[in-house]
Each structure stands twice: as structure tokens, then as C-alpha cells.
């Protein structure tokens, strides 16, 4: 029999039961649901709404149900619809009449809002750890490659020399913003909704602060209508997750490109690559491709949630049951991607020789030649023009800038002297870019230190 069958004269159609049920996915929140119910029962007794004896029976029953569920000894049923009513049904069949008192002054609407918030809070703790781990790995790699020269690109055309460390640190910065967004999302998640009832609170004298304390929330929600119909936190989480995945997809794209024979900047470890069923020579960067591919489903979750919530009138509407699958999928996907990406990048081998060779061909030091002329008194726009002509000469004569004879240089500009060769040295070009935020080993070493300190602080401040 359904917990709500009183006003019905007919059984639900099987189709209705199947379509309406959420147990197949919301069962993942059973531990949160039970913890919330334990706190609720404790509060009901404290307020004299149930007796202490009733409270003890309810709490003991709930704990046993939790153990049995953990051990796989209890089976959820479709008939009981969702995780909340499944557990309540288990309780009533375990402890009898007293079990029917648990749902006093509570609705599934505030209950589900509580469960999702509790679930997401604990997942955010996990994701935060994974994110910081990836950041630490990037810092380690940057430290190792402070002097590894590589071409920096714009339009995927070689532009100016940078270092691999600087490139890693660019991703470190993206992930730093991601972590800040996650912490910001957590702040608004940390509100306890129980006591909002179905939509209009309750006439019982509840102690919401007590439940808040019991469940480790920082605040209580401030408006019952909003509390039961708010899913902003899920949308914010999926926004965070989408931006993070977008960042990882960019990095993945580069790693895939760099793994090609044409680039050969990186080789993934065998443990984190796959082969082809037909082509024996192949070693594919599938993990990076999958991270890139899975980015789409996380964006999908965000759009699904926004669309579910769009135009919904206050307060709870059943549409909102559609919040869980996209949210859960985003959580699972992000966790897996962070885990895989960290292992993949940590074990990858970066080919310094190839990177340096690629930096030398392709006029990545052309801007430096122009800067050289500026230092000798020429206006930048004129210097740009002169160097353009020098590059054209090089292309026509199959040379790089370092190979032009000094006499030939003098034909382009009398300002050029024999110190030009040292000036054009790729390593010098990078070392000169010492400006804060620049790629010089000196500047990146400072960024690295700041990053290390930041990670240390963030590890100590878990979701504050
Ligand atoms: N399974 C429901 C959900 O996930 C729980 C809340 C149901 N409330 C209701 N009034 N039907 O949203």
C-alpha cells in the first residue's frame, strides 16, 4: 500500500508507478536520507513532539536499516517510489506504529532538498581533493620543466618561445579559478532546508538550528517557498563542472595533438594509452580523447538543469525530480576525469629535444629581433616592417634568423650588430621575458612558489 493512498480509490497503473518513480537513481542518497531522518527524529523529541522512547526506537530502526542497506540485505522497491518513502516503509515494517511518526512536520519536498544538499556537500569535498591533487601534479611538472623551451602558439601557428612550465602553469591558473568557483558554490549549498515542509513551513514548534548543527550545516534556509524549489546549487555545481571540463578538454586537445608524430612533444605512458584492434603500430591517447568527449555530457547536464528549472512556478513541482540524473552524472564524470587526467599527465613523457627543435624553426624569435631594433632607437612599427622583410628573405633562402650573415643583416638595418646572435638565442628570448606573469624561468619560479603556497592554504581550508 502507498504511503499516500488515503484519498485514492484505485491502485496506480503500472505505467504511472514506473514513470513516477525515482528510486532507480535517488537510492544513491540513502545514507543522507537516513542521517537527515535521524536528526529530524532527535529534534522532534527534543521539542516534545515525540517521546524519547519513540525517538530511540526510530533512530535504532534507521541505523539498522542503514546497516542492512550497506550490506545489500534490503531491496528497494518501485512501489515505494523514491528513496524517502522506501526508507520510511522499511522503518514502519521494522518498528511498527512508531515508525509512522517520523514524517511529522516534514515533507518529501524539504527532505529531498536536504538530501541533495548533503550529498553534494560530501561530493564537493571529494572533488576538491582531486582537483588539488591535479594542481599539485601540475606544479611538480612545472618545477621539472622550468627550462624546457617550447613554441607558444596563437592561431595554432608558432608565435613566441615559452617554457613547458609556463604552459603547465597556465592550466594551474584555470584550475585555481575552478576551485574558487567550487568553494563559492559550496557557500550557497551550505543551507539547511528542513522545516520548510511542503512549501509553507509547519505549525509545529521545530528547532531548525538544532538540525542544522546536527547535520553540520552553516546556515538554515530563509524562505520556505524558496527552500523547497531552489536547485541553484545544482546548477552552480554543473556550471563549475562545465568550466572545469572545458579546461580539461583544451588540455586534452593539446595532448592529443602533441602525441601525433607530427608534433611528438609527448608520449603517454603505456598504462594510460590504448592500441588498435587492426593497426599493430598504433598507440592512441584515448584517455585524453575521452576527457574531451565527456565534456559534452557535463555541458548537457548543465543545460538539462537550467531547462528543467526554467519557468517553474513556485514552489515544488515534480519536474524537479529530473534534477538528480544530470547532477549525478556530472559528479561521476568530473570525478573520473580528474582522476584519469592526473594519472595520465603525471606519467607522460615530454620530449624536450623535439620541443626545442620546434621552437628554433618557425621564427619564434622574430619579435625579439624587432625589440632589438627598438632598443637601438628604432620605432616599433618601423622595426616590425624591417623584420618582416628579414623573415621574407629567410623564407626565400631557407634560413632561420640566427643563420643570416652580419653583413646581410646590415643591409636591412645599420643598427644591427654582432651582438644580435646572442640576442636571438631562443633561451635568451625566454629568459628576457621576466615580467611578472611571463615565461622566464625566473618569473615562473616565482609563480610556482606562489602556487605552492596557495595549494597549501587551500588544503588546510577545506570548503570554508
Ligand atoms: N522523488 C521526489 C523528487 O526527487 C521527492 C519529492 C516528491 N515530492 C512530491 N510532493 N511528490 O523530487
* Chain segment 84-93, per-residue pLDDT in tens: 999 999 999 9
Ligand 1 touching residue 111 (CB < 6 A): no
Looking at residue 117, what is its pLDDT?
98
- For the chain, the C-alpha Rg in angstroms (whole number) is 30
Looking at residue 278, what is its pLDDT?
79
Q: Does domain 117-146+157-194+222-358 have CATH number 1.20.200.10?
A: yes
At CA 263, angle to CA 260 and CA 266, rounded to 5? 75
Looking at residue 273, what is its pLDDT?
87
Q: Are 458 and 132 in contact (CB under 8 A)?
A: yes
**Which region, left, alpha or beta, applies to residue 405 given φ > 0 means left and ψ of -120 to 50 means alpha?**
beta
Looking at residue 462, what is its pLDDT?
66
- Extract the residue ranges of the chain whose pLDDT is less than 50: 464
CATH class of 366-424: mainly alpha
pLDDT digits (tens, 9 = 90+) for 158-195: 999 999 999 999 999 999 999 999 999 999 999 999 99
Question: Which residue in 40, 122, 155, 249 is the catalytic one?
Answer: 155
Ligand 1 touching residue 115 (CB < 6 A): no
Question: Which residue in 5, 93, 260, 276 is the catalytic one?
Answer: 276
pTM: 0.95
Distance 232 CA to ligand 1 centre (A): 17
CA 215 to chain centre: 25
Distance 318 CA to ligand 1 centre (A): 6
Q: Ligand 1 pocket check: which of 5, 29, 113, 318 to mutate, most ligand atoms within 8 Å of Cβ?
A: 318
Q: Are 15 and 68 in contact (CB under 8 A)?
A: no
Q: Does domain 5-104 have CATH number 3.40.190.10?
A: no
Distance 321 CA to ligand 1 centre (A): 6
Active site residue 276: yes
Rounded CA separation 263/257 (Å): 7
Looking at residue 134, what is its pLDDT?
98
Domain-wise residue ranges, the chain: 5-104, 117-146+157-194+222-358, 366-424
Ligand 1 touching residue 26 (CB < 6 A): yes
Distance 349 CA to ligand 1 centre (A): 50
Ligand 1 touching residue 112 (CB < 6 A): yes
Amino acid at each position: 500500500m502507498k504511503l499516500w493512498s488515503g484519498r485514492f480509490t484505485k491502485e496506480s497503473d503500472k505505467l504511472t508507478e514506473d514513470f513516477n518513480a525515482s528510486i532507480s537513481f535517488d537510492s544513491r542518497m540513502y545514507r543522507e536520507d537516513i542521517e537527515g531522518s535521524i536528526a529530524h527524529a532527535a529534534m522532534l523529541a527534543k521539542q516534545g513532539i515525540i517521546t524519547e522512547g519513540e525517538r530511540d526506537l526510530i533512530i535504532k530502526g534507521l541505523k539498522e536499516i542503514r546497516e542492512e542497506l550497506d550490506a545489500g540485505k534490503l531491496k528497494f522497491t518501485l512501489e515505494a517510489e523514491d528513496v524517502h518513502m522506501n526508507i520510511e516503509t522499511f522503518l514502519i515494517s521494522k518498528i511498527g506504529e512508531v515508525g509512522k511518526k517520523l514524517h511529522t512536520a516534514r515533507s518529501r519536498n524539504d527532505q529531498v532538498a536536504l538530501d541533495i544538499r548533503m550529498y553534494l556537500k560530501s561530493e564537493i569535498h571529494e572533488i576538491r581533493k582531486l582537483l588539488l591533487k591535479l594542481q599539485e601534479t601540475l606544479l611538480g611538472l612545472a618545477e621539472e620543466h622550468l627550462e624546457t623551451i617550447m613554441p607558444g602558439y596563437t592561431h595554432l601557428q608558432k608565435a613566441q618561445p615559452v617554457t613547458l612550465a609556463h604552459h603547465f602553469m597556465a592550466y594551474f591558473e584555470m584550475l585555481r579559478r575552478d576551485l574558487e568557483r567550487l568553494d563559492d558554490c559550496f557557500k550557497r549549498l551550505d543551507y539547511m532546508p528542513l522545516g520548510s515542509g511542503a512549501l509553507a513551513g509547519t505549525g509545529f514548534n521545530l528547532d531548525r538550528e538544532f538540525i542544522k548543527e546536527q547535520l553540520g550545516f552553516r546556515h538554515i534556509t530563509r524562505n520556505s517557498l524558496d527552500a523547497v524549489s531552489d536547485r541553484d546549487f545544482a546548477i552552480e555545481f554543473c556550471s563549475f563542472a562545465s568550466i572545469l571540463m572545458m579546461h580539461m578538454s583544451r588540455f586534452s586537445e593539446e595532448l592529443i595533438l602533441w602525441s601525433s608524430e607530427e608534433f611528438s612533444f609527448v608520449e603517454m605512458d603505456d598504462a594510460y594509452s590504448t592500441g588498435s584492434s587492426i593497426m599493430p603500430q598504433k598507440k592512441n591517447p584515448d584517455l585524453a580523447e575521452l576527457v574531451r568527449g565527456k565534456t559534452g555530457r557535463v555541458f548537457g547536464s548543465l543545460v538539462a538543469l537550467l531547462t528543467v528549472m526554467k519557468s517553474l512556478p513556485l514552489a515544488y513541482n515534480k519536474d524537479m525530480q529530473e534534477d538528480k540524473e544530470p547532477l549525478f552524472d556530472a559528479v561521476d564524470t568530473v570525478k573520473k576525469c580528474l582522476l584519469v587526467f592526473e594519472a595520465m599527465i603525471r606519467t607522460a613523457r615530454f620530449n624536450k629535444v623535439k620541443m626545442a627543435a620546434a621552437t628554433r624553426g618557425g621564427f619564434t624569435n622574430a619579435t625579439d629581433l624587432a625589440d632589438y631594433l627598438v632598443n637601438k632607437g628604432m620605432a616599433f612599427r618601423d622595426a616590425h616592417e624591417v623584420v618582416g622583410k628579414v623573415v621574407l628573405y629567410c623564407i626565400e633562402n631557407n634560413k632561420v634568423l640566427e643563420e643570416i650573415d652580419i653583413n646581410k643583416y646590415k643591409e636591412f638595418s645599420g643598427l644591427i650588430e654582432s651582438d644580435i646572435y646572442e640576442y636571438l638565442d631562443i633561451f635568451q628570448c625566454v629568459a628576457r621575458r621576466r615580467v611578472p606573469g611571463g615565461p622566464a624561468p625566473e618569473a615562473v619560479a616565482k609563480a610556482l612558489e606562489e602556487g605552492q603556497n596557495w595549494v597549501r592554504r587551500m588544503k588546510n581550508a577545506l570548503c570554508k
